[in-house]
């Protein structure tokens, strides 16, 4: 696998192209993310974060520019090829866990494996058990997803995202619907997976305290990446925070929030 798990070059996105109300929401974005990085994406509502995440997740196509995932140039890929690349290379965690509440935790984790239809059932069940062990939920494996706590649901969602050993996990406000204690626990779990497995994480968040515990912060403002980033020393597997380097005042970033 190349060092760049993700590479964006001149990425732009417009809606209503060719009409009088054509609107460009992303403007010439360049970004590289390496294997094993743990990156926060921040920015005000309406800044283009969700659009950017949808394009990175191969759920939408850019209007112009290039996106490469694990070295694969996606510009000329068919919809079927994009789906296959997304399934094998990218895991997703959402603010609202998106579990099937009528299924057990174990069955939810098995879903991506069943969709791939490549593994025998015994191997699928074993892989799901291993992942539930990893996220500390084996004793709840047979509980319906609707009968466990919000923090436990997000842990199941993380296990499901890791089912196919993706190179990169995209997490859209993964702690936004949780209380402070559960949010910290879920963040520490993602960080532990990142450190132990080398999985790349891109996390969209409004929680600046959690963002400061990431390796790098990328800020999106009005559809553009800010001129500079904040970088912290790699956090330990238990999620503790290393020293944070101050932003360069000349980097063109907005003033620190009060």
Give CA–CA dist 182/152, Å, rounded: 8
User: Are 134 and 199 contacting, i.e. CB atoms less than 8 angstroms apart?
Assistant: no
Question: Roughly how many angstroms between the first and final C-alpha of the chain, as a whole number?
Answer: 41
| Nearest CA among 241, 258, 250, 251 for reference residue 40 | 241
pLDDT for the residue 72: 94
Distances (CA, A) of 255 to 130, 141, 151: 45, 46, 33
How much is the pLDDT for 234? 42
User: Given this model, what pLDDT does residue 70 score?
Assistant: 94
Residue 67: its H or E element: strand 64-69
pTM equals 0.81
How confident is the chain (258 residues) per 10-residue block, as mean pLDDT? 86 90 92 95 89 93 95 93 92 82 93 78 90 90 92 89 92 82 86 92 91 94 76 42 35 36
11: number of CA atoms within 13 Å, CB side? Answer: 28
Quote the tokens at residue 61: 């196509």
Superfamily of segment(s) 4-236: P-loop containing nucleotide triphosphate hydrolases (3.40.50.300)
β-strand 4-15 against 64-69: which pairing, if any?
antiparallel
């Amino acid at each position: 696998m190349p060092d760049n798990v993700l590479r964006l070059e001149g990425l732009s996105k417009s809606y209503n192209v060719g009409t009088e109300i054509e609107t460009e929401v992303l403007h010439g974005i360049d970004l590289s993310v390496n294997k094993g990085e743990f990156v926060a994406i921040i920015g005000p509502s309406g800044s283009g974060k969700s659009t950017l995440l949808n394009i990175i997740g191969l759920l939408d196509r850019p209007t112009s520019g290039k996106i490469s995932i694990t070295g694969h140039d996606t510009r000329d890929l068919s919809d079927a090829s994009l789906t296959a690349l997304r399934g094998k290379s990218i895991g997703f965690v959402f603010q609202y866990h998106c579990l099937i509440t009528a299924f057990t935790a174990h069955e939810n984790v098995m879903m991506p494996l069943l969709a791939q239809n490549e593994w025998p059932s015994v191997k699928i069940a074993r892989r799901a058990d291993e992942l539930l062990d990893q996220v500390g939920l084996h004793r709840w494996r047979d509980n319906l997803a609707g009968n466990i706590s919000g923090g436990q649901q997000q842990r199941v969602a993380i296990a499901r995202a890791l089912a196919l050993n993706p190179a990169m996990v995209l997490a859209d406000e993964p702690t936004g619907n949780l209380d402070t204690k559960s949010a910290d626990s879920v963040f520490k779990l993602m960080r532990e997976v990142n450190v132990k497995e080398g999985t790349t994480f891109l996390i969209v968040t409004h929680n600046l305290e959690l963002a400061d515990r990431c390796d790098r912060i990328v800020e999106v403002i009005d559809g553009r990446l800010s001129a500079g980033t904040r970088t912290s020393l790699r956090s330990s597997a238990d999620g503790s925070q290393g020293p944070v380097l101050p932003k360069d005042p000349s980097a063109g970033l907005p003033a620190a929030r009060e």
